[in-house]
Amino acid sequence: MESAQRLQAALQNRGLNSLTEAISELAEKLRYQLKPPFTEVIRLTAEEEGDRFTVQFCAKLHLHYSSLLTHCEGLIFTVQFSGEGYADSPNPPLDELFAMGLVDSFVAYGYGKKWAGQTIPTPDRFATNLEVTSRTINQIPTNDFLKMIEAER
């Protein structure tokens, strides 16, 4: 399956793991490497039920991929996700939240000539937490991003 189709399918089925796998495969095809990701837990509630906890959560995952070929090109993805399930503790590790997560929203940003979109100043949290050095980034509507990926073939 091509990168754009796989990414679109992952967005439609809303599974966080399938979406991050599709993004990873796309990055490999583009010869981009993942910088350290950043996760924000927006809301986490837990209720004790016997020896386990019912957890409900909402979080954002920020992923920064930079080109291996040039320092001035890359992609940033912000994925808001939420879910509920059972955990062994009231504060489960992030990988457990990822496994339970369903995608609520997806935003793609790019920098460099390859990635066209609405130019915005780079948010401070991207510069600080994701090591984005570009002063501006381009917010790319999802449908436009899928078309750009399709054109990469």
Q: Give 8-39 pLDDT, tens digit per residue.
A: 999 999 999 999 999 999 999 999 999 999 99
In terms of Cβ atoms closer than 10 Å to its own Cβ (0-12, 13-18, 19+), residue 58 is middle
Which is it for strands 74-87 and 102-111: parallel, antiparallel or unpaired? antiparallel
Among the listed ranges 16-20, 110-114, 130-134, which one has the minimum average pLDDT value? 130-134
Which pLDDT does position 130 carry in this prediction? 85
Mean pLDDT computed over 74-78 = 96
Read off the pLDDT of each residue in 56-82 and give the average, rounded to a whole number.
Answer: 95
In the chain, pLDDT over 70 holds for what percent of residues? Answer: 99
Query: What is the percent of the chain with per-residue pLDDT over 90, rounded to a whole number?
Result: 83
pLDDT at position 153, please? 64
pLDDT band at 92 (very low <50, low <70, confident <90, very high): very high
Tell me the three state secondary structure of residue 92. Answer: coil
| Number of neighbours of residue 135 by Cβ within 10 angstroms | 9
